[in-house]
């Protein structure tokens, strides 16, 4: 399902990752982050896919909302756990969406 985003401009945070094979609590934390992010001011939605490479794109009203999400304590704890336990590599990109199209 596509995220229901407003008319641009808005922002996208693109999180690309490679996970370890074992769960080690990842699924439970992922579910909690989905629950928590939906409560954040300025959050517009997300799209996610995972095979060997995982890609999650979250959409935000503005940069201030992205920074506020980054500072949420539970999210910071999940980030640290990702660095130490779940990911062998990751990259985060932040982009301003100026146009979008759909069918």
The domains of the chain are located at 17-97
pTM of the model: 0.92
Which residue do the tokens 């401009």 mark? 9
Mean pLDDT over 43-55 rounds to 95
What are the angstrom distances between the C-alpha of 41 and each of 60, 67, 93? 9, 11, 20
Amino acid 1: pLDDT: 85
pLDDT of 58 > 90? The answer is yes
- Cα(41)–Cα(56) distance, integer angstroms: 19
**pLDDT of residue 103 exceeding 90:** no
**17-97, CATH topology level:** Alpha-Beta Plaits (3.30.70)
- To which H or E segment does residue 18 belong? strand 10-19
How far apart CA 13 and CA 28 sit, in angstroms, is 22
pLDDT at 6 over 90: yes
**Confidence class for position 80, pLDDT limits 50, 70, 90:** very high
């Amino acid at each position: 399902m596509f995220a229901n985003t407003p008319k641009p401009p808005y922002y996208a945070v693109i999180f690309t990752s490679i996970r370890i094979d074992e769960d080690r609590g990842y699924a439970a934390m992922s579910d909690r982050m989905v629950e928590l992010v939906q409560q954040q001011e300025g959050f517009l939605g997300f799209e996610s896919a995972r095979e060997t490479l995982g890609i999650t794109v979250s959409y935000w009203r503005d940069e201030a909302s992205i920074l506020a999400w980054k500072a949420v304590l539970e999210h910071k704890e999940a980030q640290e756990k990702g660095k130490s336990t779940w990911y062998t590599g990751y990259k985060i990109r932040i982009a301003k969406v100026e146009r979008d199209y759909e069918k």
